[in-house]
Amino acid sequence: MKILAIHNFHRTGSASGDDQVFKAETRLLEDHGHQVVRYSVCNDAFDNAGAAGKLVAALAMFWSPGHARAVKALIEREKPDIVHVHTFFPLLSPSILYAAKRCGVPVAATLHDTRFICPCATSLRGTELCNRCGDGHYLRMVRYGCYKGSRLQSLLVAMNFKLHRWLKTYYRQIDRYICLNDNQIRLLTEIGFDPAKIVKKYNFVEDADVNAHEPLPDGLPPRYAVYYGRIGEEKGVRVLMKIAEATPEIPLVVMGGGPLEGEFARWAEGQGHVRYLGYTPHALCLSIARNAAFVLFPSIWYEGCSMVEIEAQSLGLPIIATDLGFSHEAIQDGYNGRKVPLGDVTGFVKATRDCWGDPEACRTMGENARREYVEKYQPEENYRQLESIYRELTGKRETRA
């Protein structure tokens, strides 16, 4: 089978989940004998453009004739069996969906976030969950400056989504929505998406336990909790800080970069039990995580299918997570981790102390987490599901490498 895979990368070196998934899935398909044609752009192009270039890119967010023509030409030349779109916002624009459909090729789209409900993709207004724009009244974004804290940028994004809501672009130009959890499915069906066109497929990771054997840096405590991932508001970093302040007896190792890293680094310097390593190469990050007692994951937004969570499960680590989004179905409280209601710092502190104070129970939950990984998040199972989705859309029979 030949697949045209399309993606708008965040930025060079990004560790964003959708960037990782695009790379991993296309590689997995090729490993199984499929032909993959990639068409991608990167937001670096916008960052590096001058004022005129940024204005052109902002207008092309509504409709990019250049990318539409390029996708159409690529389809006519390569004749793919299916087009699989990951992220098209902001540079590729919805025009690529029309290009594919007009060429008569079925279109699948992986929904890595809640952008079809919330144009900001986070379902957050500040630090509060919000899905009000699912009703199509996007101009309320302007009042709150939802998109990057800017009313002007929020206006442009609101107008974009208003236009494509009116055109029914996201309802008509995609043949299969690949959702990552039940919450996404619920949110989509509530605003009129056809449930018959929706399937659920988790992300996958290679077995992290196989490769997590980098030498550990000096100075790590003999036993510690760990947080790794983006140092950003939506990941609950401020909740993490409150948890750590309330549990000075529990060493915490934190890895990752992001918009709050400067503030977080300054805070961590004043906490004798917190060691902040900043950006850490992935193999070393996994090795450090592998030696932790458990993972703290106090995210405040709807995680799609968190790569951190499924990596942690592959490492046999229990996770203390917010009972929200993917975590709601991935974590069974007391079995493979602990779930805490959104924003419940007291609950997080109690769960953290409980896990720290009962190493045997922690080990048992870690073993169960490993079983969950083996059953649900390995590459081969993911490939089977992905190929099944493609076969259903194209009518092709199963193939084996």
Domain boundaries, given as residue ranges, for the chain: 2-204+379-394, 208-376
Same CATH fold, 208-376 and 2-204+379-394?
yes
Query: For residue 90, what are its two tokens?
Result: 């902001």
Say whether pLDDT at 260 is over 60. Answer: yes
User: CATH number of 2-204+379-394: 3.40.50.720, 3.40.50.2000, 3.40.50.300, 3.40.50.1970?
Assistant: 3.40.50.2000
Q: What's the CA gap between 222 and 12, in Å, rounded? A: 35
User: At 334, is the secondary structure helix, strand, or coil?
Assistant: coil
Tell me how far apart the alpha carbons of residues 130 and 121 are, in angstroms, rounded to a whole number.
11
- Report pLDDT for 400: 47
For range 116-127, the mean pLDDT: 94
Confidence band of 58 (pLDDT split at 50, 70, 90): confident
- The predicted-structure confidence for 293-334, as pLDDT tens digits, reads as follows 999 999 999 999 999 999 999 999 999 999 999 999 999 999
Q: Are strands 295-297 and 2-9 parallel, antiparallel or unpaired?
A: unpaired
Q: Of all helices (H) and strands (E), which one includes residue 389?
A: helix 379-394
CATH architecture of 208-376: 3-Layer(aba) Sandwich (3.40)
Q: Which residues of 118-145 are buried (b: 16+ CB within 10 A; e: fewer)?
A: bbbbbbbbeeebbbebbeeebeebbeeb
Task: Give the Cα separation of 250 and 374 in Å (integer).
Answer: 30
Which amino acid, one-letter code, is at 42? C
Phi, psi of 385, deg, nearest 5: -65, -45
Q: Which of 38-47, 170-179, 337-346 has the lowest mean pLDDT?
A: 38-47
Structural tokens at position 82: 């299916």
